[in-house]
């Protein structure tokens, strides 16, 4: 058995928009439970979770932080996550560690884009959901309308477990002991709505409730309550004020008595690969079973080295346990085990199913690794989390000659810690490009690069990541023959190219008959095709969404070598592409913009001028929300434009959507630039 039995554990993540009060709420929960002496302040930089210099300066979380507290019979692992869209990668990658996602909504600002995305993501992932309306003291008169708004956005299954009372200075329970008066609605009627919703998932209990009219106790309702949470049939809503303390102890009571433990939540979506394909695999929260754990965060500590934060789903990890990371053939030995309390590391002897812990000085484990103690589990992995694509980029150049290797190593560590970052080496432009989820995200990464790794860089806007594709099918041919005194080279390839649906990538097949090209040489043809795809055909950008079928060819008994078919495959492919209507694709991004309603006309006009297409507009009180598609090339300076249009009060999120053909003038310009560069080279 680990430090805590699975029945006692509650794993929850606080998610939501930056500024909704997640970190302050976490401090209030810790202080109320006695885990810390007093709640820290975000403004003063004294909180447990926002402990890095960057977080203290920014007054916002930029990394997920694991916190622990005890309340009643429960041990609660609470994860405080970043709210800025720029740091969404850090939020989403750690959520597989929890059974419940608590979406925190600011009572003053209401339901926002981040709350909507997190609710959708948690539902798609099969996690239980809870809505916490925080800062109720800031908008007591708006709470009834806000509850209606929550139900309008997220469904009528959103029902309050408590309601604000006495001018939002406290809350009144609507589930365990439904007595008293609320600021709005009836406590008794709300209790009845909750019970009606819960018993719908249990026919026998519903019959007892309807036929005999018996009042059901919270104990009788516990199992159907958990079932309703798992099915998404119930999304509880709780009211709190982290600053005044209203509803904080009641929220802890909800965590302990109503939120699922690891035995009650939906099982994690593990997949197992074997000779027959990929199958679902259900982990057993049994402390005596083989170890199965999942790495949800990696960080580099100056004293402890590489730290892998993981959730145990099966078995028990102790000091000296020998573990494998993924499909690694060699095991590593567990040295030190830690429970995390923000930036503090507390040594533990063991951890079992449901627990979240960390391993120090373990180079083998990376983000998303599955840790196990038997080769029987080599091919088990968790269904990957769909992370937002990093589309903002900066081209980096070291200021000091000779720092190139240090830059490569530092960037590798940054990317290992932050799944929202990506490093690209562009062979066409010879640029090292760091990509992230926004301007702030990249700025924070560059600060870490300088402060932690002592690497100074100059930056400039990178080339846009255009792609190439084809419009129609076409055939290509190349006969490669080279004779130079000794053994020569010979390879002849006939192939056909076909367009694939956008986003399909690349397929390679053959219809060779009679062995005119031996099977041993077909990989060489594919290698040549892939080389040409990387280099591009008309504008120097990688090709995508193409199917290549090798149809015929010829060999020579002496001169047909692998290199000959690499060259023949490459040239035959380029020959086919040039006849297949090649075109340049540009990356399109989906923007969600929020700003004052008075700025709506200016915002939509600006997007239209950027070749943007408005998809939807919504009015949220005196705010407006606009969804649009726009070419990435047109919004490189969007943060500055948005600030100018909204007086600094606008917010936006951006994620990669798809590639689509660039306008003809853009294509012509890109092709001409590539030709000029090639002639100069």
Q: Among the listed ranges 139-153, 422-436, 599-613, which one has the minimum average pLDDT value?
A: 422-436
C-alpha to C-alpha distance for 170 and 349, rounded to whole angstroms = 41
Residue 434 has pLDDT above 70, yes or no: yes
**Which range among 319-323, 509-513, 643-647 shows the weakest confidence by mean pLDDT?**
643-647
Q: Which of 359, 382, 405 is the last residue of a domain?
A: 382
Are 594 and 653 found together in one domain?
A: yes
- Does 88 lie in the same domain as 143? yes
27: number of CA atoms within 13 Å, CB side? 22
Asked if residue 267 is part of any domain, the answer here is: no
The full DSSP string for 598-659 is GGHHHHHHHHHHTT-EEEEEEEETTEEEEEEEEEGGG-TTHHHHHHHHHTT--EEEEEEEEE
Instruction: Kindly state the helix (H) or strand (E) to which residue 408 belongs, with its residue range.
Output: helix 404-417
Same domain, 311 and 403: no
CATH number at residue 150: 3.40.50.300
Task: Supply the CATH number for residue 292's domain.
Answer: 2.40.30.10
Evaluate if residue 298 carries a pLDDT over 90. yes
Residue 315 domain-assigned (yes or no): yes
> pLDDT, tens digit, for every residue of 233-252?
999 999 999 999 999 999 99
Position 223 in a domain: no
* Residue pair 80/65 in contact by the 8 Å Cβ criterion: yes
DSSP H helices in 496-636 = 522-535, 562-578, 600-609
C-alpha distance from residue 516 to each of 495, 556, 557 (Å): 13, 10, 11
In a domain, 648, yes or no: yes
Q: Is 147 found in the same domain as 83?
A: yes
Residue 672 domain flag: no
397 found inside a domain = yes
Shared-domain flag, residues 181 and 251: yes
- Asked whether residue 545 falls in the same domain as residue 638, the answer is no
Are residue 453 and residue 493 in the same domain, yes or no? no
Residues 165 and 88 in one domain: yes
Contact at 8 Å (CB) between 317 and 323?
yes
C-alpha dist (Å) from residue 463 to 308, 432, 435, 445, 541: 34, 11, 12, 20, 11
> By residue range, what is the domain housing residue 91?
7-187+234-258
**pLDDT above 60 for 612:** yes
Question: Is 220 inside any structural domain?
Answer: no
- At residue 390, φ and ψ (nearest 5 deg) are -75, 115
Instruction: Tell me how many domains the chain contains.
Output: 5
Residue where a domain terminates, one of 460, 488, 511? 460
Residue 622 is part of a domain; what is its CATH number? 3.30.70.240
Same domain as 102, residue 251: yes
Helix (H) or strand (E) holding 410: helix 404-417
Question: Are 433 and 536 found together in one domain?
Answer: no
Residue 429 pLDDT greater than 90, yes or no: no
The answer to whether residue 96 is domain-embedded is yes
Q: What is the DSSP letter of 139?
A: -
How large is the average pLDDT for residues 381-392?
A: 84
CATH number of the domain to which 416 belongs: 3.30.70.870
User: Is 424 in the same domain as 566?
Assistant: no
Domain C-terminal end among 412, 431, 460? 460
User: Within this chain, do residues 241 and 364 fall inside the same structural domain, yes or no?
Assistant: no
Structure confidence at residue 1 as a pLDDT band (50, 70, 90) = very low
If pLDDT is split at 50, 70 and 90, which confidence band does 452 have?
confident
Please report where in the chains the tokens 């062979």 appear, as a residue.
427
Compute, in degrees rounded to 10, the torsion defined by CA atoms 441, 439, 421, 410: -80
């Amino acid at each position: 058995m680990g430090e805590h039995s699975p029945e006692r554990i509650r794993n929850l993540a606080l998610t939501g928009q930056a500024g909704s009060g997640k970190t302050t709420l976490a401090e209030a929960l810790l202080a109320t439970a006695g885990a810390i002496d007093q709640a820290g302040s975000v403004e003063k930089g004294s909180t447990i979770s926002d402990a890095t210099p960057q977080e203290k300066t920014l007054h916002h979380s930029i990394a997920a932080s694991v916190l622990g507290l005890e309340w009643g019979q429960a041990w609660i692992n609470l994860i405080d996550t970043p709210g800025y869209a720029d740091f969404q990668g850090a939020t989403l990658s750690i959520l597989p560690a929890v059974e419940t996602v608590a979406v925190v909504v600011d009572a003053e600002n209401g339901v926002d884009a981040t709350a909507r995305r997190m609710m959708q993501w948690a539902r798609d992932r099969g996690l239980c959901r809870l809505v916490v309306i925080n800062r109720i003291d800031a908008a007591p008169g708006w709470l009834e309308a806000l509850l209606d708004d929550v139900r309008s956005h997220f469904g009528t299954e959103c029902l309050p477990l408590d309601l604000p009372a006495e001018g939002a200075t406290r809350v009144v329970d609507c589930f365990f002991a439904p007595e008293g008066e609320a600021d709005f609605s009836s406590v008794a009627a709300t209790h009845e709505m909750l019970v009606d919703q819960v018993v719908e998932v249990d026919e026998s209990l519903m019959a007892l409730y309807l036929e005999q009219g018996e009042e059901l106790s919270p104990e009788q309702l516990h199992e159907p309550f958990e079932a309703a949470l798992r099915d998404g049939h119930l999304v509880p809503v709780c009211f709190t004020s982290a600053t005044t303390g209203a509803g904080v102890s009641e929220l802890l009571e909800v965590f302990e008595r109503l939120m699922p433990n690891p035995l009650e939540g939906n099982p994690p979506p593990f997949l197992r690969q074997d000779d027959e394909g990929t199958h679902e695999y259900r982990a057993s929260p049994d402390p005596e079973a083989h170890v199965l754990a999942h790495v949800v965060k990696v960080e580099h500590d100056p004293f402890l080295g590489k730290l892998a934060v993981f959730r145990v789903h099966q078995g028990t990890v102790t000091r000296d346990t020998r573990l494998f990371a993924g499909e690694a053939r060699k095991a590593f030995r567990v040295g030190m085990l830690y429970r995390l309390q923000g930036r503090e590391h507390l040594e533990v002897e063991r951890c079992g199913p449901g627990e979240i812990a960390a391993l120090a000085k373990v180079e083998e484990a990376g983000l998303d690794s599955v840790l196990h103690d038997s080769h029987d589990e080599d091919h088990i992995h968790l269904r990957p989390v769909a992370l937002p694509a990093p589309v903002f980029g900066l081209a980096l150049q070291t200021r000091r000659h000779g720092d190139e290797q240090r830059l490569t190593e530092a960037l590798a560590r940054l990317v290992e810690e932050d799944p929202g970052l990506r490093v690209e080496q562009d062979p066409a432009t010879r640029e090292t490009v760091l990509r992230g989820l926004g301007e702030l995200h990249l700025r924070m990464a560059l600060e870490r690069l300088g402060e932690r790794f002592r690497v100074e860089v100059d930056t400039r806007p990178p080339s846009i990541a255009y792609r190439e594709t084809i419009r129609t099918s076409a055939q290509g041919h190349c006969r490669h023959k080279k004779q130079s005194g000794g053994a020569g080279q010979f390879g002849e390839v006939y192939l056909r190219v076909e367009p694939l649906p956008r986003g399909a990538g690349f397929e390679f097949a053959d219809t060779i008959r009679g062995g005119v090209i031996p099977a041993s040489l077909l990989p060489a043809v594919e290698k040549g095709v892939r080389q040409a795809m990387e280099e591009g055909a008309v504008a120097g950008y990688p090709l995508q969404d193409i199917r290549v079928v090798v149809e015929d060819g010829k060999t020579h008994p002496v001169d047909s070598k692998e290199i000959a078919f690499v060259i023949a495959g490459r040239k035959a492919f380029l020959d086919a592409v040039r006849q297949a209507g090649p075109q340049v694709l540009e990356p399109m991004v989906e923007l969600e913009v929020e700003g004052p309603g008075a700025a709506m006309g200016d915002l939509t006009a600006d997007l239209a001028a950027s070749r943007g297409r408005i998809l939807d507009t919504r009015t949220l009180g005196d705010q407006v929300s606009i969804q649009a598609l726009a070419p990435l090339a047109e919004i490189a300076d969007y943060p500055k434009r948005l600030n100018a249009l909204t007086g600094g009060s606008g917010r936006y999120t951006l994620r990669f959507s798809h590639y689509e053909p660039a306008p003809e003038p853009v294509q012509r310009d890109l092709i001409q630039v590539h030709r000029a560069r090639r002639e100069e080279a």
